[in-house]
Chains A and B, each alone.
Chain A
Amino acid sequence: TDSFNYASYHTLDEIYNWMDVLVSEQSNLVSKINIGSTFENRPIYVLKFSTGGTKRPAIWIDTGIHSREWVTQASGIWMAKKIATDYGKDAFITSILNEMDIFIEIVTNPDGFHFTHTKNRMWRKTRSINSGSSCVGVDPNRNWDAGFGGAGASSNPCSETYRGPRANSESEVKSIVDFVKSHGNIKAFISIHSYSQMLLYPYGYTKTPAPNQQELHSLARKAIDALSSLYGTSYRYGSIINTIYQASGGTIDWTYNQGIKYSYTFELRDTGRYGFILPANQIIPTAQETWLAITTIMEHTYNNPY
């Protein structure tokens, strides 16, 4: 994996091959788990970083549930390599991994991602067929069982924010739900998107503040301070509903309600020049600065067991 070009965008096959190489290079640390399959029958993989034990406290990171957000998946690859490289060399990563596991789902929407590389670069949704409609796909970030069907999601299959026929109707979502429930010991859940430069915490479906809002807010500020320290990138942070808009059925609202206190979602670069076609030379700086925010959240999770 040292010869892999982290400063370029890659296809699904290339990413899946890279995962296999990483696992074979560091089989004592990294393993690949198949948590389900997509509508078009592609496997859904999660990389597990672990130094032993079962169902230890864990940190979850997923990238690219909206397939067209390519800098997100690319950042996920860089971060996975960073963890693998730093273990045993960097004191912080080593101490985290000596007590906790880290899960990274790099391509959270494989059908959509493949579609962006082959048919429609701007595809956002899954590729499931909607009965009674010619429009394809569900917005997987409106398909979770948290305020499902409420405001901030569409009931129209042709909309980019179509919520789907029912909560968890998308196998890409259901696979994570099943995994999180069966694991039962995930302490931080970080879901990464692009591009609006924000760090958000629950809730999106209701204006009611999350019970841990104060702690989540101050940790978000700390994480953004760390992120901005590298290249001066400015981020907004706050609850989803107060910072962007009301959105029901979102990922981290469900994880928070599931009892995962440190539930955050990122919106990575861009500053408003390229949008989802952020040039590849921005991948590494984006991943580097994001990593600083993520390690801040990891460190807080590690130091504040619950």
Chain B
Amino acid sequence: QKIFVGDQVLRIVTKDMEQVTLLKDLEELENLELDFWKGPTHPDFPTDVHVPFASLQAVKVFLESNNIQYSIMIEDLQSVVEEEKIQIIRSRSIEQMRN
């Protein structure tokens, strides 16, 4: 089962098309195993990218060195997935009790 411990989801805000192009270049780097939840399209729209823990430093250095603004949308993806699993189990047991 794939786990996402330490993986983050970054919300990136670009200021011009040049930065959008830089993000598109980043998208091409397959070794980083990035998963673009919202792809880079236009400076008006943010980009959301799921970054595996192993690629975090490289991605953040890339963004910061190019003066591209970002914030951390999800700090630890695995913890949110765990929370979701607990919710599902809880709701299932409530249903079983009701039945």
Contacts and interface: CB of A to CB of B under 8 A. Distances in A.
A274 interface: yes
Interface string B75-92: 001001100100110011
User: Chain A interface mostly helix, strand, loop or mixed?
Assistant: loop
Interface in A261-279: 272-277, 279
Contacts of A182: none
Given A3-B95, A120-B1, A275-B73, A9 B84 contact: yes
Contact of A158 (B30, B92, B94): B30
Nearest to B50: A122
Nearest to B11: A272
A274 B74 contact: yes
Contact of B80 (A5, A118, A159, A277): A277
Given A9-B84, A121-B81, A160-B35, A275 B1 contact: no
User: Chain B interface mostly helix, strand, loop or mixed?
Assistant: mixed
A8 B1 contact: no
A196 interface: yes
Contacts of B48: 272, 275
A281 B63 CA distance: 34
Nearest to A10: B88
Given A9-B84, A160-B35, A275-B48, A119 B1 contact: yes
Contacts, number: 66
Contacts of B51: none
Interface residues of A, number: 26
B91 to A, nearest CB: 4
Contacts of B36: 160
Given A5-B95, A122-B4, A272-B11, A245 B39 contact: yes
Interface of B: 1-2, 4, 9, 11, 30, 35-39, 41, 45-46, 48, 50, 73-74, 77, 80-81, 84, 87-88, 91-92, 94-95, 98-99
